[in-house]
Amino acid sequence: MSNDLRLLEVGIRQKVFKAIDIMKQSFELKSLGVEDICVVETKRTLATQMAYYSRGRMAVKDVKLMYNAAGLYNISNEEAKTPNTWTLESKHLEGKAVDLAPMRNGVIWWNAPHEVWELMGEIGESTGLQWGGRWKENKDTPHFQV
Ligand SMILES: [Zn+2]
């Protein structure tokens, strides 16, 4: 799992840089309480994608083994039981996707209000990215791709 923007494909990299720049300067996001923007994940290995995919689909002990084999963190039992992804064919594997999240009080603000995610989505779209918050099924609000 990496959050290195340099691992992104050239075609998406500039759009992501631009989007993050606009998000960081957005007065509207600031007024909603966003202090910064966090790059959660860029390019993903197949081992990581498979580990994510195993969540909620395999026994907890096997999910833990998958996480370990992929070099990920020690996942809790609760997380291991919770599905995390619906596909093995993520754009993250090709370096054509990024997950961005708002930050507040120095930590990722996962339960930020809908307006925050919506605004971040619109900003990403304005730079030419597709936003996972528009998907009809399996909405993925931190996710942007080309
Ligand atoms: Zn994503």
Interval 23-66: pLDDT, tens: 999 999 999 999 999 999 999 999 999 999 999 999 999 999 99
The stretch 86-100 carries a mean pLDDT of: 94
pLDDT of residue 138: 86
* Whole-number average pLDDT of the chain: 96
Domains of the chain: 1-44+93-146 (3.30.1380.10), 45-89 (no CATH)
pLDDT of residue 101: 98
Percent of the chain clearing pLDDT 90 (strictly above): 92
How far, in Å, is the centroid of ligand 1 from the Cα of 130? Answer: 11
CA distance 24 to 76: 32
pLDDT of residue 139: 92
The stretch 90-114 carries a mean pLDDT of: 97
How far, in Å, is the centroid of ligand 1 from the Cα of 92? Answer: 6
DSSP per position, 27-79: HHHHHTT--EEEEEE----HHHHHHHHHTTTS-HHHHHHHHHHTT-----HHH
- 139 is written with which tokens? 């909405």
Percent of the chain clearing pLDDT 70 (strictly above): 99
Answer whether residue 84 shows pLDDT above 90.
no
How far, in Å, is the centroid of ligand 1 from the Cα of 140? Answer: 7
Q: Which of 17, 37, 13 is nearest to 96 (CA)?
A: 13
Answer whether residue 2 shows pLDDT above 90.
no
- 41 is written with which tokens? 């994940």
How far, in Å, is the centroid of ligand 1 from the Cα of 85? Answer: 9
- 95 is written with which tokens? 């370096």
How far, in Å, is the centroid of ligand 1 from the Cα of 86? Answer: 11
